[in-house]
Amino acid sequence: MIDFTPLPARLETIETDVPDNHLFSFHLPQPLAIAPGQFVELSLPGIGAFPVSAVTWPTSDILHLCIRRVGRVTDALYRLPVGAMVGIRGPFGRGFPVENFPGKDVLLIAGGLGVVPLRTLLHWLLAHRGNIGELTVLYGSYDAARLLFRRELEALATAGTIRLAFSVDALGADPRGTGTIPCRFGVVGDLLADLDFNPTTTVAAVCGPPVLYTHLLEKLAAAGIPPDRIYATLERRMKCGVGQCCHCVIAGVYICCQGPVFSLEELRIMPGAI
Ligand SMILES: Cc1cc2nc3c(=O)[nH]c(=O)nc-3n(C[C@H](O)[C@H](O)[C@H](O)COP(=O)(O)OP(=O)(O)OC[C@H]3O[C@@H](n4cnc5c(N)ncnc54)[C@H](O)[C@@H]3O)c2cc1C
Ligand code: FES
């Protein structure tokens, strides 16, 4: 049974490394068990609420969220001082079927803010690293300055824990930015061309803007990854996030409750989903 009661959460820290994509931490009265790919509803009293993915795993009584300032409620959040109280409800939705990952190579492909739920999944995979094969992260952003969690990803790549490649839509003044791994110009799907992987042993998880899914999911299937082992999260389709507004319903499926994570096998029988 879903609990709709908000927990009071105190804003503890705000990290501002990437403009308008700040990392917030909140202290909760009790830990929330949020699985990779699930989300919570953050509410500002008297202003509104929005769904947001957890950005770390496991979650504890400190909840980390990476939030882009895009509109009314997120703008109000950006104006709050440390110590302010917000409400957190959840966790909600069906996340990644992590039981299908052990024993497999894993390919994570993120576009823009889509790196948030994939970072949670990455933390889960790192905690189970002994049972995971090759772990690869492909991440595309508008430009190098907007790559989130870049230092963490590069440190993992330097240690040999993951294989990592970046792409950028715009080269900007410095295509490398402040990082150690250069960014390739183009879309993130282009990075697959240089990737050596065995599709028969691979599980793929993709998260990004809808345009990313249009060709990439079928491209992964054409490369030989079984469609029931290609996962995508359909966050962009939602509004209320909790089964109340019907905004997300596609082919009779409530994306917010029955998803947001679906396999390509499931998406193929949901016309209009991708
Ligand atoms: C399951 C889920 C997880 C999410 N996780 C995150 C996250 O980790 N970090 C984060 O910053 N945002 C996340 N979002 C998006 C976030 O919920 C919206 O950005 C937020 O609702 C905007 O609220 P607002 O009132 O500030 O903006 P609004 O005034 O409501 O909207 C401003 C702009 O944002 C766009 N927008 C609204 N909803 C979404 C959405 N669901 N996805 C993309 N664009 C949207 C609108 O089209 C509009 O252009 C997630 C959404 C869902 C459904
Ligand atoms: S987003 Fe409102 S019902 Fe799913």
- Answer whether 210 contacts ligand 2 (Cβ < 6 A): no
Read off the pLDDT of each residue in 237-258 and give the average, rounded to a whole number: 89
Provide residues with CB under 6 Å of ligand 1. 39, 48, 50-53, 66-68, 70-75, 113, 116, 235-236, 238, 241, 260
State the pLDDT at residue 1.
Answer: 57
In whole angstroms, give the CA distance from residue 147 to residue 241. 26
Q: How far is CA 203 from CA 115, 177, 198, in A?
A: 17, 30, 10
Kindly compute the dihedral angle of the four CA atoms of residues 30, 35, 37, 38, in this order, to the nearest 10 degrees: -50
Domain spanning 98-234, CATH class:
alpha beta
Mean pLDDT, the chain, integer:
93
Q: Indicate which atom in ligand 1 lies nearest the CA of residue 48.
A: 25
Domain boundaries, the chain: 7-92, 98-234
Using CA positions, which residue lies closest to atom 3 of ligand 2? 243
Query: What contacts 180, CB < 8 A, 6 or more positions away?
Result: 154, 158
Vertex 92 angle, CA 90 and 97, to 5° = 135
In whole angstroms, give the CA distance from residue 260 to residue 241. 9
Contact 204, 105 (CB under 8 A): no
Q: Indicate which atom in ligand 2 lies nearest the CA of residue 254.
A: 4
State the pLDDT at residue 175.
Answer: 54
Ligand 1 centroid to Cα of residue 218, in Å, is: 26
Using CA positions, which residue lies closest to atom 35 of ligand 1? 70
In one letter, which amino acid is 194?
A: D
State the pLDDT at residue 3.
Answer: 61
Q: Mind listing the pLDDT tens digit for each residue in 72-123?
A: 999 999 999 999 999 999 999 999 999 999 999 999 999 999 999 999 999 9
Q: Do the first three CATH levels of 7-92 and 98-234 match, i.e. the same topology?
A: no
State the pLDDT at residue 181.
Answer: 85
- Does domain 7-92 correspond to CATH entry 3.30.910.20? no
Please state the pTM of the whole predicted model.
0.94
CB atoms inside a 10 Å sphere around CB 223: 15
